[in-house]
Amino acid sequence: MGACFSAAGKETVGGAAGKRELPDVGVGNSQRMVKPRGSVDNKGNDENIKNQQQERQLSPAKEREKDKGTVAVGHKRRPSGVVPCGKRTDFGYDKNFNDRYAIGKLLGHGQFGYTFVATDRTNGDRVAVKRIEKAKMVLPIAVEDVKREVKILKALTGHENVVHFYNAFEDENYVFIVMELCEGGELLDRILAKKDSRYTEKDAAIVVRQMLKVAAECHLHGLVHRDMKPENFLFKSNKEDSPLKATDFGLSDFIKPGKKFHDIVGSAYYVAPEVLKRKSGPESDAWSIGVITYILLCGRRPFWDKTEDGIFKEVLKNKPDFKRKPWPSISSSAKDFVQKLLVKDPRARPTASQALSHQWVKEGGEAKDIPLDISVLSNMRQFVKYNRFKQFALRALASTLNEDELSDLRDQFDAIDVDKNGSISLEEMRQALGQDIPWRMKDSRVLEILQAIDCNTDGLVDFTEFVAAALHVHQLEEHDSERWNVRSQAAFDKFDMDRDGYITPEELRLHTGLKGSINPLLEEADIDKDGKISLSEFRRLLRTASMGSHNLPSPPGVRNHQRP
């Protein structure tokens, strides 16, 4: 239900309870997906993205005709005489909307209601008000969608790149959601207005940085946006340097760390491969931003076909074209950024926060603006659970990496090291882990994590110790397999003192200084049970360390709102 409107009068959002379905895509009959508005029926891949402009100018009547037979469960015709769920629900919102606001001109409408400009009677400020008709909330899912949207807007309010939420009201017939009025139009409109529908690299980086900040903030709240696309971002004003605002959270949903969504939602051109495989999480937002960045830089979509089935096959199997003009004239840094976000394996894809540390996006930005990365916090929580050999192996691998390979982790370390003394204290660790909102961690657990990472037992975590616990092994392997082979070999050699190709219990004892029985530490890595560790077994141990951070147990007290 995440509708927000620009003052230009264009509806910018589909709406959660008003989800439109796509035809089946060969993965079962129950998947749901928002139909990409005006983005499917192009006649050829050579045609520019400007084709969207004509397709998006359908009248409301034609939009309804286009969607006939595709409305989601919330729109089903109710049996005669049954009172809609929305009419029977007290949402718990304030009841004095008409005392506070005066409704003005209509901005647009969706399946469930209308959005207007309104004036605050107390101070004269203009706002956007979405008025949702309770009678159209037939089933409980529609009510849940409205409640979830308000919850999301409340959680994200205060972020500079999210439309500001003022309040929610209700009366007997309507729910009113009062939000910031954005008068600068959609990001898509600005793309279309550019020469060749392209942004300059500098301007594109500014836009992308703002979208990544939104995604990273969502992820810290245990929220996945699930429908990142240019239509869902508005500019606050018509000024060129106007801030960008995320407005549509209609498909957004909360998810437990380590868990996955199993439904198919989103918009065809921006949907990530793992969404189509019914196993998606926060990484899918980074993919969508990668698609948007590709469009911003070249004016074309990276994955195209005449049919939705064809689009999905492109997304699953093919790589974007970086040879056709204008890509030869685009910087290698920009191409590297897009290529990293469009990695098909979500485990190897940068998180939104990591992507903010990429030099192309960071140019002109400040490290202090980079939010904490949920995967870094997750990796640190997991590190304490590893056996000592795996921890030592990660420390050895971390010691082989150079400054460029660690730039994103340096930014994360600096973000946690609030007092900038070069080390992370217990209080700084507690504050950082506390920002991952779905996890409610006791101070004793924070101390346990810090002590596991703090290998020199001085009560602080320095950068080297931090890297070992926060490292993304899968990304290192995926992005440069040759470099991965060299780095993992170098880490292995730190243990293999006689260079015979194996790590023995005695070598592990000499390297670590551990006393007592060493054999139990080798058991997890010693796949063939020959009492020693080969290079391939060592690499497998490192990979499983990275995989573990994506498969954590659920935090206490958090429900996972997964849709069927």
Active site residue 227: yes
Report the candidate in 250, 243, 296, 302 with the shortest Cα–Cα distance to residue 272.
302
Buried b vs exposed e over 420-443: b needs ≥16 C-beta within 10 Å? eeebbbbebbbebbeebbbbebee
The pair of structure tokens assigned to 190 is 């600005």
Closest C-alpha to 85, from 95, 98, 76: 76
Catalytic residue, candidates 145, 227, 253, 454: 227
Distance CA 63, CA 67 (A): 6
Alpha-carbon gap, residue 429 to 447, rounded angstroms: 9
Tokens of 384: 């304490």
DSSP 458-515: SSSB-HHHHHHHH--HHHHHHH-HHHHHHHHHHHHHHH-TT-SSEE-HHHHHHHH---
As a whole number of angstroms, the distance between CA 422 and CA 219 comes to 27
CA angle 477, 473, 533 (to 5 degrees): 90
Percentages helix, strand, coil for the chain (3-state, rounded to 5) are 45, 10, 45
Residue 557's region, left for phi above 0, alpha for psi from -120 to 50, else beta, is left
- Which two three-digit tokens encode residue 120? 């605050």
130 is in an annotated binding site: yes
Candidates 209, 301, 312; CA nearest to 266 is 312
Q: How many residues does the chain have?
A: 564
Phi (first) and psi of residue 170, to 5 degrees: -155, 155
Asked whether 85 and 74 are in contact (CB, 8 A), the reply is no
Distances (CA, A) of 434 to 213, 382, 437, 446: 18, 15, 6, 10
Indicate the annotated binding residues for ATP.
130
Task: Give the residue numbers annotated as catalytic, written as ranges.
Answer: 227
Indicate the annotated binding residues.
130
